[in-house]
Amino acid sequence: MKTKLLWILAFCIAAGIVLIGCGESKVEKKVKVKNKDTFVLVEYGTLRSLDPSVCYDNVGRQRLMNLYEPLIYFAGSATDKFKPMIASEVPTVENGGISKDGKTYTFKIRKGVKYHQGGEVTPEDVVYSFKRNMIADSAGGPMWMLLEALTGSGVTRKNEKIIPGIFEKIDKCVEAKGDTVVFHLPTAYPPFMSILTYTSSIILSKKWAIANKCWDGNIANASKFNDPKPGYEPLKKIANGTGAYSLKSWEPGKQFVFERFDTYWGGKPQIKTAIFKNVSEWSTRKLMLHNGDADRAQVDTNYLSEVKAMKGVKTYDVPLLSVTMAFFCQNVDPRGNTSIGSGKLDGNGIPPTFFKDINVRKAFLHAMDRQTYKKDVFSGMVVLPTSPNIKGLPYHRENLPFYAFDLEKSKEYMKKAWGGKVWEKGFKMVITHNTGNDMRKAAAMMLAENVSSLNPKFKIEVRTVDWKDYTIQYRAYKFPMFLIGWGADYADPHNFVYTMMHSEGVYGRYMAYKNARVDKLATLGIQTTEPSKRKVIYHNLQDLWYKEALAVPLYQQIVTRAYRDNVMGFVPNSIDTDAAEDLKAISKK
Amino acid sequence: MLSTHKLVNILQAYIIRRLFFLFFVIFGVSLLVFTIQYSYGPDRRAMLYVDSPQQAKDIPELKKKYGLNDPYPVQYVRYLKEIAMGNFGYSIVAARPVWDAFLHYLPITIELNLFVVPLFIIIGIWLGKQAGIKRNTTYDHVTRILAIIGWSLPTFLFALILLMIFYGKFGLFEPAMLSANIEAFILDNPDKYIKYTGMYTIDGILNGEFGITWDAIKHLFLPVLTQVIVIVAILMRVMRSSMVEEISKDYVITAQAKGVDSKTIFNKHVKRNALIPVITIAGQLAALSMEGSIAVEMIFNRHGIGNWLAHAALKLDTSVIMFMCLFMAVIFVVTNLIIDLLYAYIDPRIRLT
């Protein structure tokens, strides 16, 4: 009897599971708008600090941009047009806000802008905010941008010592004059306006900041407030901005809750409460979006097809101002380096200067099948870049030539390389990419396979290295070829072109590439204010990029944002990363 | 026969002696984990503070700032001094000091374990006992199959299946610790809900807000079910084997021959003796669960120790990893002590010397 009962029970459980599996989801039928005035975003990024002098990550930027406001911000989807925020108008040369030499910027300050905890914004607050953040200048933080533009030095310390006179420069570079704030730049700096949109340029209440142990306003004491201990910076966990939302609660690693600021100067937004939950597991995020418990879910590229097939979900494809390339290092460190085999052109390795020969570089460029890569890896959802001056940046050249996939040409260049020795002896090397990035892995594999197919003596191995080690090693000139990306700090070609082409640029340096003409033009690009002249400079640099065949441009990513279909108001802007969310623009039907 | 007074003295001396060894264990573990993390080299450790290529330029400055270039003994002594003062470092992933983060996350894991541990012990022992007694019957075969399924199915997969069925299909048991409206109530009414223990089930009762307790229990259902099913399988099998071994011993045959009823034989004699290996396994499993189940916490969106540890490991948040090694060393020493005491309690022939 008992045995029979057990069998019946087992059958019922199995049948139940099968029925559940086959039946249409009850939730799918039932999903309705939950909490019309609450917006829930499920994401996986973590936030380190709310201090604008420290915050240099996308999640932090997103939080700060809803809590605080800068003087100006990008207008709509534009990356070269601005709208006034704390400033009452955008300064231009025409309205006298920007001096003709590009060294003085005058901002009229909006009146009646209130802070969450009381008080109104004054020009003194604006001046204090800029000085305080530059004085703090945390290691690894974002202040280099403002420091470079306003003092000519991207840092306040050198060899752990304060640079003499740096605080005096900071003190003099910005001042309040009546209802205006005036910035004095040592030299013209065209991306300055774009830098002012960054979170390091948001406005703090001077009184509140000083009460919370920020710089006391006395420049003689500045060094005491420089480079605060990470995690103990004064504004790490608190916020008092002018943004449309105030900080209601923050449980690190769990959730961040915003509350509408009802007396916001720009009008009351529809969403009353916004909850940003940290949900690391994709399946959980997906189900929450599916059930309507989340209004938006952060999606990784490999799950795009799943999210696009979901009912009741609206997706937006936004090209980002970021680019990934495969860089050639033209002078690899051979010490204990397994990436270059024997270190000689003997068929078992490559010499450290293997990529100094332009023929080798061109051969690799012609071996990259960009169209197949686009189709197979991204399902067509990607922009193929041609140079660091990517689409979306000013002075981008649409018609810049590129090295099309052509294995015959690749073969020709390889035959010419190193006086024919490469073809004769063959070579062995490693292409490296960082762990966990499938897009980079696919590109590395494609290059390795295609180049190896040219000659049986060519042997290329693809190696994966953890990101932290990867960063250390490419900076130690250990990789002959490394794949890495760059995201915009601000929307100006200088941020990309200098980085990748100048011999002192963040990547240019580690490509061990030095070209006096390129260096001169890249420097000139940042010193020139006249747009027509800048256009010529950056067009020349793009030409040089092509001629010099410096790296293999791989992809300019398009991110997909997934919202429930009742969520309205999202405005795409390529400067905003996936983490960004302008809550005041969002509403729910 | 020892007097009660003498027994208590022996017990006290034993506990003190074992706890004294705890310091040596902690020292050994600290030396080991420090050496392992030191082997990463200064650049690698400085990378903890670097998230993007933009920040990488500050690596030399970060190394100097944190003394990462200092010799090994200097760094180790500095580390020991800090932990002696209760400073376990700063957790980048938790954005707060390690100790603060630990106190924040621990109640969430303990709350889960408060349900999981008693359940897996009771169910595991009971099912194992029954399977042992009803050896080679349908009952034994069914529990064996269930045990194989429970133990061989990866926790994350089992958790995902449960989540898809209950939450995905029926909209039940949202993956969170509380419902959105209850969380909003707590945020909006800081005067009505005081955080005493950090465990919603208990704090709800202490605040007289039973709705919060009920809501928290509902949200614990799937994580507890997952953990219990996975852990119970091994305990059940150990208990079964132990029961089978005991049943075949001479004293059981003698008792049966003398006409002692089966209930008394199994419950009073066999079960008691069969529990010895089970206690060891149960203790180790309970100790391990203090680390939090990474898969369960991540999938059901519970921000406890497991979730924290997973993020810390991915980011190489060394302060967290080193602290957790020390914490687990303490947990295992204490657990082993409790197991030894339980041995003596269950089997008086075992002496604490």
Do residue B51 and residue B20 come from a single domain? yes
CA A307 from centroid of its chain's CA atoms: 23
Enumerate residues 6+ apart whose C-beta is below 8 A from A290.
A27, A28, A31, A310, A312, A313, B168
Lowest mean pLDDT among A18-32, A427-441, A548-562, A563-577: A18-32
Domain ranges of chain A: 43-250+565-588, 321-558
Chain B residues touching A325 at Cβ < 8 A = none
Report residue B294's pLDDT band, with 50, 70 and 90 as the boundaries.
Answer: confident
pLDDT, average across residues A355-362: 97
- pLDDT at residue B60, rounded to an integer: 83
Higher pLDDT, A17 or A361: A361
Q: Are residues B43 and B156 in the same domain?
A: no
> Helices (DSSP H) in B248-293: which residue ranges?
250-257, 262-264, 271-289
Task: Check if the beta carbon of residue A523 is closer than 8 Å to that of residue A502.
Answer: yes
Residue B95 DSSP code = T
At B291, the pLDDT band (50, 70, 90 cuts) reads confident
**Are A249 and B187 an interchain contact pair (Cβ–Cβ within 8 Å)?**
yes
Reply yes or no on whether the pLDDT at B64 is more than 70.
Answer: yes
- On whether residue B310 sits in a domain, the answer given is yes
Question: Is the confidence at residue A37, as pLDDT, over 80?
Answer: yes
Q: Indicate the DSSP class of residue A460.
A: E
Two tokens, residue A415: 């035959």
Winning range, highest mean pLDDT, from A446-460, A573-587, B139-153? A446-460
Instruction: Write out pLDDT tens, residues A377-390.
Output: 988 889 999 999 99
A residues 488-547 lying closer than 8 A (beta carbon) to B:
489, 506-507
pLDDT single digits (tens) A467-513: 888 888 998 999 999 999 999 999 999 999 999 999 999 899 999 99
Work out the minimum CA distance from B185 to partner chain A, whole angstroms: 13
Flag whether residue A248 sits within 8 Å of chain B, measured between CB atoms. yes
Element at A486 (helix H, strand E): strand A481-487
Greater pLDDT, B12 or A204: A204
Whether residue B323 is contained in a domain is answered as: no
Residue B2 has pLDDT above 70, yes or no: no
Torsion from C-alpha of A319, A323, A325, A331, nearest 10 degrees = 180
- For position B113, what pLDDT does the model report? 93
Average pLDDT over residues B84-103: 90
CA A105 to CA A103: how far, in whole Å? Answer: 7
State residue A11's pLDDT score.
Answer: 55
CATH value at residue B124: 1.10.3720.10
Q: What is the pLDDT of residue B50?
A: 78
Q: B132 and B260 share a domain?
A: yes
Neighbours of A8 (CB within 10 A): 10
pLDDT tens per residue across span A437-450:
889 999 999 999 99
Q: Do B162 and B255 have their domain in common? A: yes
Angle between helices B271-289 and B318-346 (to 10 degrees): 170
pLDDT at B1: 55
Of A293, A468, A507, the CB nearest to B47: A468
- Is the separation of the CB atoms in B36 and A117 below 8 Å? no
Write out the residue range of the structural domain in which residue B37 sits.
Answer: 4-91
Is residue B292 included in any domain, yes or no? Answer: yes
pLDDT at position A25 is 45
Instruction: Place A169 in a pLDDT band, splitting at 50, 70 and 90.
Output: very high
pLDDT category at A9 given cuts 50, 70, 90 is low
A26 to B303: CB separation less than 8 angstroms, yes or no: no
What is the model's pLDDT at position B351?
62
Residue A21 binned pLDDT confidence (cut-offs 50, 70, 90): very low
Going through chain B in order, the beta strands assigned E by DSSP cover 90-91, 96-97
Does the pLDDT value for residue A84 go beyond 60?
A: yes
pLDDT of residue A10: 53
B173 and B248, same domain (yes or no): yes
- The pLDDT-based confidence of A57 (bands split at 50, 70, 90) is confident
pLDDT-derived band at A400, boundaries 50, 70, 90? very high
Look at residue B185 and tell me if it is in a domain.
no
Range B137-141 contact pairs with CB under 8 angstroms and sequence separation of 24 or more: B137/A3, B138/A2, B138/A3, B138/A6, B138/A7, B139/A2, B139/A6, B140/B240
Distances (CA, A) of A74 to A28, A85, A129, A266, A494: 38, 10, 20, 16, 18
Q: Does any CB of chain B come closer than 8 Å to the CB of residue A20?
A: yes
Residues B116 and B243 grouped into a single domain: yes
**Average confidence score pLDDT of chain B:** 88
CA distance A491 to A330: 29
% residues pLDDT > 70 (chain A): 94
Does residue B333 belong to any structural domain of this protein? Answer: no
Same domain, yes or no: B159 and B87: no
Neighbours of B15 (CB within 10 A): 14
Residue A323 host element (H or E) = strand A322-328
Q: Cβ contact (<8 Å) for A280 and B310?
A: yes
- Predicted confidence (pLDDT) at residue A22 exceeds the cutoff of 70: no
Tokens standing for residue B12: 């006290």
Q: What percent of chain B clears pLDDT 90, i.e. is strictly above it?
A: 42
Give the mean model confidence (pLDDT) for residues A71-95: 95
Q: Does residue B353 have a pLDDT over 80? A: no
Would you call A291 and B310 a contact, using CB atoms and an 8 Å cutoff?
A: no
* Spatial contact of A341 and A350, defined as CB atoms under 8 Å apart: yes
> What per-residue confidence (pLDDT) applies to A265?
96
What is the CATH architecture of A43-250+565-588? Answer: Alpha-Beta Complex (3.90)
**Whether residues B85 and B115 fall in one domain:** no
Mean pLDDT over all residues of chain A?
92
In this predicted structure, the answer to whether residue A303 has a pLDDT above a threshold of 70 is: yes
Residue A223, classified by CB atoms within 10 Å of its CB into exposed (0-12), middle (13-18) or buried (19+), is middle
How confident is residue B256, by pLDDT bands cut at 50, 70 and 90? confident
Res A152 pLDDT > 60: yes
Q: Check whether A45 has a pLDDT greater than 90.
A: no
Amino acid A27: pLDDT:
44
Q: What is the DSSP string of A124-137?
A: HHHHHHHHHHHHH-
Residues B145 and B292 in one domain: yes
- CA quadruple A529, A530, A532, A533: dihedral positive or negative? negative
Q: Supply the pLDDT for residue A171.
A: 97
pLDDT value for A360: 97
Tell me what pLDDT residue A13 has. 53
pLDDT band at A408; cut points 50, 70, 90: very high
Question: pLDDT digits over B214-238, tens only?
Answer: 999 999 999 999 999 888 988 999 9
Chain A residues in contact with B48 by the CB 8 A cut-off are 468
Contacts of A231 in chain B (CB under 8 A): 90, 92, 95-97
Q: First CA to last CA across chain A, in angstroms?
A: 58
Running DSSP on this structure, what letter comes out for residue B168?
A: I
A273-278 and A38-43 strand pairing: parallel
ipTM: 0.81
Residue B344 covered by a domain: no
Task: Say yes or no to pLDDT of A271 above 60.
Answer: yes
- Indicate yes or no: CB of B180 within 8 angstroms of CB of A293: yes
Residue A19: the pLDDT is: 44
Q: Can you tell me whether residue A326 is helix, strand or coil?
A: strand
Confidence of residue B95 (pLDDT cuts 50, 70, 90): confident
B61 → closest Cβ in A139, A273, A293: A139
Average pLDDT over every residue of A557-568: 94
Mean pLDDT of A538-544: 97
Render pLDDT for A308-332 as a digit per residue (tens, 0 to 9): 999 999 999 999 999 999 999 999 9
Whether residue A32 is predicted with pLDDT greater than 60 in this model: the reply is no
Give the model's pLDDT for residue A74: 95
Residue B204, domain member (yes or no): no
A508: which chain B residues are within 8 Å (Cβ-Cβ)? Answer: none
Listed range (A5-14, A221-230, A255-264) with the worst mean pLDDT = A5-14
Looking at residue A509, its amino acid is R
Lowest-confidence pick of A6-15, A142-151, A578-587, B214-223:
A6-15
**Window from A17-21, A289-293, B117-121 with minimum mean pLDDT:** A17-21
Q: Specify whether B230 is located in the same domain as B308.
A: yes
Measured distance between the N- and C-terminal CA atoms of chain B, rounded to whole angstroms: 16
Cα(B60)–Cα(A352) distance, integer angstroms: 25
Ordered DSSP codes for B56-72: GGGHHHHHHHTTTTS-H
Q: Which CATH architecture has domain A321-558?
A: Roll (3.10)
Per-residue confidence (pLDDT) for residue A1, from 0 to 100: 47
Torsion angle of the four alpha carbons A209, A210, A215, A217, in this order, in degrees rounded to the nearest 10: 120
| Neighbour count for residue A396 (Cβ, 10 Å) | 17
Residues of A within 8 A of B168 (CB-CB) are 25, 27, 287, 290-291
pLDDT of residue A288: 95
If asked whether residues B87 and B132 sit together in one domain, one would say no
* Chain B residues whose beta carbon lies within 8 Å of the beta carbon of residue A254: 303
Q: φ, ψ for residue A422 (rounded to 5)?
A: -60, -45
List, as ranges, residues 435-474 from A with C-beta within 8 Å of B.
468-469, 471-472
Q: Domain count for chain B, please give it.
A: 2
Nearest CA to CA, how far is A25 from chain B (Å)? 5
Structural domain includes residue B96: no
A82-84 and A72-74 beta bridge pairing: antiparallel
B310 or B6, which is more confident?
Answer: B310
> Which range among A39-43, A47-51, A541-545 shows the weakest confidence by mean pLDDT?
A47-51
What one-letter code names the amino acid at A392? G
